[in-house]
A and B are shown apart, each in its own frame.
Chain A
Amino acid sequence: MSFSVPLRRTLLPRSYRAIVPRYPCLTRRCLSSSVAAAAEAPREPEGTKEVPMTVGDGGAGTSRPVKQRPGSDRLVFPGAVNSKFTNRLQFRKFDPEKAIETYRVMDTEGKIFDETHGLDFDMLKEECLKMYRSMVSVSIMDQIMYDSQRQGRISFYIVNAGEEGIAVGSAAALSEEDVIYAQYREAGVLMYRGYGLDEFVNQCFANKKDHGKGRNMPIHYTSKDLNFHPISSTLCTQLPHASGAGYALKMEGKEACAVTYFGEGAASEGDFHAALNIAATRGCPTIFICRNNGYAISTPTLEQYRGDGIASRGLGYGIDTIRVDGNDTWAVYKVTKEAREMAIAQQKPVLIEAMSYRVSHHSTSDDSFAYRARVEVEDWKRRDNPITRLRKFMELRNWWDQDRDSQLRSQTKSEILKAINIAEREKKPAISSMWEDIYDVPTKDQRRQMEELKDVLHRYPQEYDIAAYDGGEDGVVSKR
């Protein structure tokens, strides 16, 4: 069949979706049935203290009906809190003085505050060096790839500057079986898990070795071996997926959890709320890690939301939540470790809000000095940085010095440049990959389109340069 097949060249980094309020459906069950069930329930023993509530544990039919006893001093209602009655009319307000605390392990000079963290650093030396190498690698790769975008070699790039500690610190605390649903500023997770520099570069240059077969924008990495799901351009869709992946792990009885990353801007999307709510109600072993970095592209956090950050949202959904200093890689490591144990042992979601500052522009399509002062960024860079902080920590223990640092940096740089050199010469994916994988096997129509294109390319060889594509003319029709 000869449909013309327009190929969309650009993907927008964000989706703007209007959430349309829905008129209540007539067929929707009203509350009356559950109220009736409550009325028929056996009478609770007398006494007014600490009535167990009907909070389900993530399975239908697991909640018990409850009843309001006469003379009770508190409200007892299915699904509500154990709320005391009061005669004092008072609207609750967010009190900035009582904001949720931010957990730290070490200060900006790399000094550990006290021993309450329970981490045995000497046992963690290898992990620490690996974390540091991963962060430095991401940082150097970012600089080079950013430049290569500026030189017009790739169309797009997103750097991780200032947030390497969140990705790497959390990745180090996870197990390889834990499934990752990242946003787009978590190259550190892949780096820590062992994604090769050539794999990063091949993806960005969309050559035939790219796991995504050249179909995605740069930085949309994927790795089945590393349990890292494809990055999605549409904002926040990965959160409900992580809830579902957590649920799948629960159903299969695996000792692993799903982990998802997102920015504070993404938390304004409906999917954030949907994902947290459904993970809480179904008891999904899923860790939600928010990188609260101060800006959603150009929108500063204070225009993104009100209240006590993303952490306060987690509490609203009945999810165990912690706020952590995102520049303190050990703190991120520690809270992720704890969160993982809770999620798996108790089969429930956990929310981590990691505070950091996006030192970089949002992406190569953004010039952040249009909306923030250069000095603000310079201040942050000077004052605190996850890489510097961890280096100071290591230097205090004589695990690291200037020579090793210079060597690591120059070696990483030359490896990346070499990878780019190779990647640029590599062939593009076969033309057939344009159609392949839309379905498990190409349809009859798609096969016909391939044949038709092959015929055109064959008849007009002067018009098309297909030598750059894997297999040339032989690669037009799918072998599958």
Chain B
Amino acid sequence: MSAARPMATRLLSRSLRTTFNGPRSIASLARVPSRVPTGSTNLSRFAAQQTRTLASASDVKTYTVREALNEALAEELEADPKVFILGEEVAQYNGAYKVTKGLLDRFGPDRVIDTPITESGFAGLAVGAALAGLKPITEFMTWNFAMQAIDQIINSAAKTHYMSGGIQPCSITFRGPNGFAAGVAAQHSQDYTAWYGSIPGLKVVSPWSSEDAKGLLKAAIRDPNPVVVLENELLYGQSFPMSEAALKDDFVLPFGKAKIERVGKDVTLVSLSRCVGQCLTAAEKLKSQYGVEAEVINLRSIKPMDVEAIINSVKKTGNLVAVESGFPSFGVASEILALSMEYMFDYLDSPAQRVTGAEVPTPYAKGLEAMSFPDEDLIFKKVAQLLRV
């Protein structure tokens, strides 16, 4: 294949096929026999119940991801006077997505800063402040806009410690919503995990639950290295139970450690961010429909990545599916599949597979948008197909 276009057609077709039971002449999947059930009514209903997988008992405290992030920010601002947050509308307007709610009132305009609309400017200012010893948190209204500042993130933040011979640390956190967002089309719903995950000098985390959000963001702010925190807009309003430990102000999650969200023995689903929830839903469906026990790994940390957790799981299950919502080429799932060839080949009973976003700029029209991203159905069908159940 030499041109880009067939690739796009192929990958979009993958979604089209499962949704419409449409054309099946798809080279990439030809070796996997197609025995995918097509009862989409049940699946749609099932998809809508996604949050129920985490329904909590009444005595367990639940937080939305937004609340967890807000608490993490407030606690770290409180704990360390060197910490400050800046970004577009983070102060008086409480943040475009209200993640910084109440922080201006509590910490004042010197530490909660509304910036001009200039990503390269405020990211650069934050890098400068970090090089001067402060610990800035840079909020990008979305990571889509951070492309304007990517030179500051990569060439300055990620490399200065190295280039200075190790004498010039840059303790900085870049955060904001990343990846799929509903109804905002090509320039507002794009996943940058693979971009930042490929840069030595950066640490990259991507929380799914409220515990992830609080623990990873707090760890990011405290970490002496530059850290990229890739949140997801659609998760901000979702509620998750918070453990006793996570409610405390010393709660941090270690980087480079994945979390097994669901234990299983038949197939390993490796995922991140919002797709973790989708994998859990698909896993429940696989169990109820086919008695398949899927193990779901929430990566939490992209760089460094907990490869050992994936290896250990694959040793047990013998099957691997990587699930993400980014573009397929050179993506997080591509990386996981490459790692599977290097470290898991002998344990695999079937070729490792991936479910990803389609290789198209996200379309606006609702149906087209839905076809551009993985959903619970697609994950369910892909796994069923792989296991030939």
Contacts and interface: CB of A to CB of B under 8 A. Distances in A.
Contacts of A278: 115-116, 118, 121-122, 124-125
B20 interface: no
A142 to B, nearest CB: 23
Interface string B312-339: 0000000000000000000000000000
Interface in A205-233: 210-213, 215-216, 220, 222, 224, 229-230, 232
Interface in A246-286: 246-249, 251, 258, 270-271, 273-275, 277-279, 281-282, 284
A245 B160 CA distance: 14
Nearest to B90: A60
Given A61-B109, A244-B128, A258-B128, A440 B163 contact: no
B256 to A, nearest CB: 7
Nearest to B95: A27
Contacts, number: 200
A234 interface: yes
A440 B148 contact: no
A271 B304 contact: no
Contacts of A230: 160, 163-164, 168
A62 B108 CA distance: 11
Contact of B131 (A17, A229, A444): A229
Given A216-B163, A248-B129, A440 B147 contact: no
Contacts of A211: 164-165, 167
A477 to B, nearest CB: 16
A329 B256 CA distance: 54
Contact of A248 (B134, B141, B164, B165): B134
A241 B123 CA distance: 9
A123 interface: no
A89 interface: no
B72 to A, nearest CB: 21
A243 B124 contact: yes
Nearest to B203: A439
Nearest to A234: B155
A312 to B, nearest CB: 20
Interface of A: 1-2, 15, 17, 19-20, 22-23, 25-29, 33, 59-62, 179, 181, 210-213, 215-216, 220, 222, 224, 229-230, 232, 234, 237, 239-249, 251, 258, 270-271, 273-275, 277-279, 281-282, 284, 436-440, 443-445
Interface in B132-187: 132-134, 136, 141-142, 145, 147-148, 151-152, 155-156, 160-169, 184, 187
Contact of B132 (A23, A62, A210, A249): A249
A61 B142 CA distance: 24
7 contacts: A224-B168, A244-B129, A244-B130, A246-B128, A249-B132, A271-B152, A282-B113
B248 to A, nearest CB: 25
A230 B156 CA distance: 10
Interface of B: 84, 88-89, 91-93, 96-97, 104, 109-116, 118, 120-134, 136, 141-142, 145, 147-148, 151-152, 155-156, 160-169, 184, 187-188, 200-201, 203, 224-225, 256, 304, 307, 342-343
Contacts of B129: 244-245, 247-248, 251
A440 B168 contact: no
Given A222-B164, A241-B156, A247-B125, 8 more contacts: A1-B343, A28-B89, A60-B109, A251-B134, A271-B120, A273-B118, A275-B124, A440-B224
Nearest to B96: A27
Contact of A25 (B104, B164, B188): B188
Given A271-B124, A439-B225, A215 B104 contact: no
B156 A28 contact: no
A274 B113 contact: no
Nearest to B343: A1
A232 B155 contact: yes
A73 to B, nearest CB: 30
B231 to A, nearest CB: 14
A438 B160 CA distance: 9
The 7 closest A-B pairs by CB, nearest first: A240-B124, A244-B128, A274-B121, A241-B128, A248-B132, A60-B109, A437-B166
